[in-house]
Structure 1
Amino acid sequence: MNPILFYGVPEGCSFGAIVALEWSGLPYQLCRIQMPEVVSSEAFKRVNPVGETPSLRTGDGRFVSQSVAILHHIGAAAPASGLVPAQGSAAFDRFNEMLAFLNTDFFESFAPLWYAMEHGLQGEALRGVKAMGHDKVRRAHAALEGLLDGREWLVGEHRSAADAYLMGIARWNHFHQVLDRRDYPALHALCERLQADPAVRFAHGVEHGEPVRSTGAFAGHVELGELLAQTA
């Protein structure tokens, strides 16, 4: 079986796993999960009891959830891709540091803004939550700029799965209009380089339902109902 990635739309952090799969060269399929309706449904909880994307059905039929675990799984399945550095190396430690920062501080900085939007906050409550969110996003960007420390990529001299994951979150700034990323030159240069990458453009096209050509080994979409019927 091909691995199947369950990705969330709109604007899911699962975007990074699509990019990583494209970079890996592994054959894979995608299953589109609408948020919040389908992702919180009892049907999808048969895939992921937490009701979150991304999730991955592996080639041997297991389900793996959480971006960090999925990205490590992809890297281990395609070691020649260099998406995850060799375990025990300094680059591997750096990779885990960067991925942990993105998965916690960077991701969480946008949480107040998503909360305000999803819960329809108004008036003083909206202003307070947005102010907190804007402050957190600016702090996280400043911290990431420092962590880059002149590097072209988050880890070493080559792209990694951490860069793929970064792109899925960094684009949320365009959605919430918090800051001008040009104020963070190293981060801005990295994001511009990623936005020009064919795999990133493919992932954008997939999310928006546009006709796009894979640069990897994408084998098409499958429907959630079809997959659940196969495992019933």
Structure 2
Amino acid sequence: MEPVLFYGVPQGCSFGSIVALEWLGKPYRLCRMEMMEQPWDARFAKVNPRFKTPALLTEDDETLSESLAILLHAASRNPEHPLGVRHGSAEADRLHQMLSYLVSDFFAAFNPLWVLYDGAAGIGPLADKGVDASHQELLLTVARTDIAEQCAYLDGLLADRQWLLGERSVADAYLTGVGRWVAYHNRNYGLFDLEGAYQNLAGYLRRLDDDPAVQFARAIERGEQPTGKGHFQGHVSLRELESRLAA
């Protein structure tokens, strides 16, 4: 059966996994999770007991969580595809290294801003406490410094290449989901001028924005019904997946 990707909205990093599945071009389905609607459907515990996205129900009805595991699984299941990799190869090692960086250092740089975001929305660790002005400024300062450091690193990588690893990979797909957070939080918190400070990274992100798979994933997040290139087989609900999750 087709794999099912569980993706979260709004602004989920699972966006990158949708892009990767479109790029890889194999049939798949999606299951939408509204992250701000608490509590989540209890049936999701069978997918990921930590109640986080992305998660994947594989063709063999096994469950995977974490972007790193999902993207490496997808790439290794399609070794003949230009985005595919073979376990143990130098290409696989470089992909693993880049994804490890993106899901750790780059992702974590935004954590202080998501703490503020969740607190304002009435969820998360600060939902009942709020954030006073001094703590908010501290979180913003830490985030601004760390995000700038990560952007500078990627900007340097992209000085002499179009893609993170030289050739397009699922690491680029992942960055479509988390790289957009710079612009998103810039609107809310005025972090820095991405275009002026990190021109290579800014140009790279603009190119990604124009990619058909990225446009498809944006339409999916907006709740539209795009067709993409025909690999997407439609949405499915947790209720409809009960038999597969019980296997």
TM bin (shorter chain): over 0.9
TM-score in terms of structure 1 length: 0.92
Question: Which of 170, 193, 203 is the aligned partner of 1:189?
Answer: 203
Give 1:87 deviation, angstroms. Answer: 3.5
Go from structure 1 to structure 2 and tell me whether the alpha carbon gap of 1:106 and 1:53 turns closer, same or farther (over 3 Å shift). same
For residues 141-195 of structure 1, the C-alpha deviation after alignment (integer angstroms, 9 at most, x for no partner) is: 1122223342110112x21100000110010112110233222122122211111
**Preserved contact between residue 41 and residue 51 of structure 1 (Cα < 8 Å):** no
**Preserved contact between residue 112 and residue 143 of structure 2 (Cα < 8 Å):** yes
**Match of 1:220?**
234
**Preserved contact between residue 26 and residue 216 of structure 1 (Cα < 8 Å):** no
Go from structure 1 to structure 2 and tell me whether the alpha carbon gap of 1:198 and 1:49 turns closer, same or farther (over 3 Å shift). same
Residue 126 (structure 1) aligned with residue 139 (structure 2):
no
After superposition, residues 130-145 of structure 1 pair within 5 angstroms as 130-145=140-155
- Point out where structure 2 has 5 or more consecutive residues left out of the alignment: 121-130
SS in 2 for 1:19: helix
**Preserved contact between residue 84 and residue 95 of structure 1 (Cα < 8 Å):** no
| Separation in 1, partners of 2:4, 2:39 | 16
Q: Which moved more, 1:28-37 or 1:114-123?
A: 114-123
| Separation in 1, partners of 2:199, 2:184 | 20
- Point out where structure 1 has 5 or more consecutive residues left out of the alignment: none
| Separation in 2, partners of 1:87, 1:148 | 26
Give 1:230 deviation, angstroms. Answer: 5.5
TM-score in terms of structure 2 length: 0.87
**Preserved contact between residue 40 and residue 52 of structure 1 (Cα < 8 Å):** no
| Separation in 1, partners of 2:175, 2:213 | 14
| Separation in 2, partners of 1:150, 1:34 | 39
**Match of 1:151?**
161
**Match of 1:86?**
86
**Match of 2:63?**
63
What is the RMSD computed on CA atoms of the aligned residues?
1.8
Residue 176 (structure 1) aligned with residue 222 (structure 2):
no
| Separation in 2, partners of 1:112, 1:84 | 34
**Preserved contact between residue 22 and residue 228 of structure 2 (Cα < 8 Å):** yes
Equivalent pairs: percent with the same residue? 44
| Separation in 1, partners of 2:207, 2:228 | 18
Give 1:86 deviation, angstroms. Answer: 3.5
Residue 202 (structure 1) aligned with residue 216 (structure 2):
yes
Paired positions, count: 231
**Preserved contact between residue 76 and residue 86 of structure 2 (Cα < 8 Å):** no
| Separation in 2, partners of 1:126, 1:206 | 33
**Preserved contact between residue 48 and residue 65 of structure 1 (Cα < 8 Å):** yes
